[in-house]
Amino acid sequence: MARHFALGREVHDAIAVADAVLAQIAALCAVEKKFRGSDTATRQKITNARSRPLVAELDAFLRAQAARLSPSSNMGQAIAYLLSH
């Protein structure tokens, strides 16, 4: 029974982390979508200014999760992959 509880907790944590990462990726995509169609220089300047803080936030979140999760767990491995690319 304790094993079942631990597995349930691990799955719940993985879903929460995945949801948070997907929300942050969606925010990045929204920045790009908002300025699609603008000239390249303007789009690059604006998206860099708005995206850079979002990318920094995502990086910090991933690093915090990597420190918290087991590196041998599926989510720990996925986060390690994201941080190395």
- Report the amino acid identity of residue 68: R
Q: The tokens 């603008």 sit on which residue?
A: 38
Phi, psi of 17 (to 5 degrees): -65, -45
Q: Where are the domains of the chain?
A: 2-84
Q: pLDDT tens digits, residue range 18-38?
A: 999 999 999 999 998 988 888
Neighbours of 28 (CB within 10 A): 16
When pLDDT is averaged across residues 3-19 and rounded to a whole number, the result is 76
Given phi > 0 = left and psi -120 to 50 = alpha, else beta, which region is 37? left
Phi, psi of 4 (to 5 degrees): -60, -40
pTM confidence score: 0.79
